[in-house]
Amino acid sequence: MLDHIKIVVKDMGEVSRIWNDPRLIWYSKTENLSTIDWELIKCKERKVYKNIKFGKTDYGLHVLFSPHKFRNNDITNANDLKSIDCIETIKTIIELLKIDDVEKWKIINLEMGLNFIMPGYGKDLVMFTEYWKKTLFKYDRSLAFSKKAVNQRNGKDCTYKRLKLYCKYTQYPKHCPPDTVRLEIASGQSRYIKGKLNIDNIECLLNPQVYETIKNELIQVVKDVLILDHKTGFENLNKKEKLKLKEYLTNHTWYIQTQKYANGFWQMKQRYFQLLDKTGRNIHTDLLNIITTKLDELTRQTRLNSTNKKLASKEPQTRLNSTVDKGGISTYEDLSKYRCKVTGLILENEGPVKEGERVPNYIRSKTLRYLQINDPQTFERLRMDLIPNNKHSRPKFERSLITHMCKQVRNRFHNSIRIKQKGYNKPKPKFNEQLNLYQAFGLDHAS
């Protein structure tokens, strides 16, 4: 699952210890002009040990390796690598380099991938894949039958999450079947690596939960992919549906939708999926099933070991609000005592919330949907206050009216100063002077 990893060590004591290790073999040295100061020359020396590359600069040490290739003696990454094998490989590398303080080994670049077999497609699957969400896949010149997601504004690779899809058989024809395809996700941004994947240093890669997160990321990417399946049949469609499906299989049709309003692309994608379902073969459903099954197999042993450790570590103790210890049902907060700090609505529909857990500060979609069905008059008054300029039932840049209203409530809570004022000399309201809807209309929500 894990492929290329880049780690930075900035502690000079640790850098000196690793760099002066006699097991490291000198590899190369480069000198480049600094992009900031043209009179400054930046030097970088490189050493290697057991397929692990080390690069020393003036400010630290870069360590690059691939757990997948490290386990295969740097021959290939075309076979399967289970999550338990990733953990064992990381443990081996920590022991080889004698890493004691793992906090100094920060991960700054991470690549994860999955090899899978799509029967009857192979390289055709790569060529048929056109979009990830609304991001276009373009040909990658580094490999044959390879595509990567690019930013349409500047034509460069996506920086937050880099996606790549290519035929693995063309790269390693002796190590995998002809229909083998590889999907890769890479990122060099901490807000994705640390924020999304919860990976900070090399020790985090020993946590089984990290591989569950990686599995979910790969599955979500597959769900958002758009494939124009030119091998699909037209037998179960009428004449009008055949013409529509042929239109959907044209690249230019989707490009036009990306230039229109936000929801047009997603709505057409759903109509395209419905036509594929009617033909009897939806390649997106088949691909998702193959990916999900494969990832479940690769992470099964890690999940079993994690479950066994939790069961073995359990000891009899008094737990807060435990059904087992108290012999009753877990207790919950009475949300009827709490009101939304933006609208003044009672939060009883936002539950259940167990005692000790955080009570929401403002209403969300549950309360709004309840009011829309059971109290439409109050819902309309709330809509007029939150979205006064909305003349349509569905907003222009949101999927639904409920979503739009939720964001307005959230923004009013976190942005206590209202930007738009009525009158020139009207003072800006403070946080605790926000609108209380029911007090304004003389209503009592509790009744």
- Local structure of residue 332 (DSSP, 8 states): B
- Mean pLDDT across the chain: 82
Looking at per-residue pLDDT, the higher value among 446 and 174 belongs to 174
Same domain for 223 and 250, yes or no, is no
Same domain for 147 and 261, yes or no, is no
Same domain for 274 and 161, yes or no, is no
Check residue 301 and give its pLDDT. 82
Burial call 163-196: b when 16+ CB within 10 Å, e when fewer: bbbbbbbbbbeebbeebbbbbbbbbebeebbbee
> What is the span of the domain harbouring residue 379?
335-441
* Whether pLDDT at 313 is above 70: no
Question: How far is it, in rounded angstroms, from Cα 111 to Cα 237?
Answer: 42
Mean pLDDT of 419-435: 44
Q: How many domains does the chain have?
A: 3
Question: How far is it, in rounded angstroms, from Cα 197 to Cα 193?
Answer: 5
Asked which of 161, 193, 227 is the last residue of a domain, the reply is 227
Q: Which two tokens stand for residue 140?
A: 């990658």
* Residue 70 domain-assigned (yes or no): yes
Range of 206-210, 394-398, 437-441 with top mean pLDDT: 206-210
* Residue 383 domain-assigned (yes or no): yes
* Whether pLDDT at 329 is above 50: no
Same domain for 23 and 117, yes or no, is yes
Cβ-based neighbour number of residue 76 at 10 Å: 15
Task: Output the CA angle 209-212-217, nearest 5 degrees.
Answer: 130
Task: Output the CA angle 143-144-146, nearest 5 degrees.
Answer: 70
Same domain for 128 and 43, yes or no, is yes
Closest C-alpha to 405, from 356, 330, 359, 340: 340
Same domain for 257 and 387, yes or no, is no
Asked which of 227, 262, 294 is the last residue of a domain, the reply is 227
Helix axes of 239-248 and 262-279: crossing angle, nearest 10 degrees: 130
* Whether pLDDT at 434 is above 70: no
Instruction: Report residue 388's pLDDT band, with 50, 70 and 90 as the boundaries.
Output: confident
* Residue 289 domain-assigned (yes or no): no
Range of 77-81, 118-122, 215-219 with top mean pLDDT: 215-219
* Residue 344 domain-assigned (yes or no): yes
* Whether pLDDT at 311 is above 70: no
- Residue 385 CB partners (closer than 8 Å, separation 6+): 343, 435, 437
* Residue 328 domain-assigned (yes or no): no
Same domain for 56 and 175, yes or no, is yes
pLDDT single digits (tens) 222-251: 999 999 999 988 888 999 999 999 999 999
Instruction: Report residue 310's pLDDT band, with 50, 70 and 90 as the boundaries.
Output: low
Check residue 397 and give its pLDDT. 64
**Max CA pair span of the chain:** 81
Same domain for 122 and 196, yes or no, is yes
* Residue 360 domain-assigned (yes or no): yes
Same domain for 107 and 205, yes or no, is yes
Check residue 27 and give its pLDDT. 83
Check residue 431 and give its pLDDT. 35
Task: Output the CA angle 201-53-143, nearest 5 degrees.
Answer: 100
Check residue 217 and give its pLDDT. 94
Check residue 347 and give its pLDDT. 84
Q: What share of the chain has pLDDT > 70, as a percent?
A: 81
Instruction: Report residue 7's pLDDT band, with 50, 70 and 90 as the boundaries.
Output: very high
Same domain for 35 and 121, yes or no, is yes
* Whether pLDDT at 422 is above 50: no
Burial call 328-338: b when 16+ CB within 10 Å, e when fewer: eeeeebebeeb
pLDDT single digits (tens) 35-51: 666 566 677 889 999 88
Task: Output the CA angle 397-402-406, nearest 5 degrees.
Answer: 85
Same domain for 253 and 186, yes or no, is no
Looking at per-residue pLDDT, the higher value among 177 and 424 belongs to 177
Instruction: Report residue 274's pLDDT band, with 50, 70 and 90 as the boundaries.
Output: very high
Same domain for 348 and 406, yes or no, is yes
* Residue 233 domain-assigned (yes or no): no
* Residue 323 domain-assigned (yes or no): no
Q: What share of the chain has pLDDT > 90, as a percent?
A: 42
Looking at per-residue pLDDT, the higher value among 87 and 325 belongs to 87
* Whether pLDDT at 335 is above 70: yes
Residue 142 near residue 135 (C-beta atoms within 8 A): no
Asked which of 193, 227, 261 is the last residue of a domain, the reply is 227
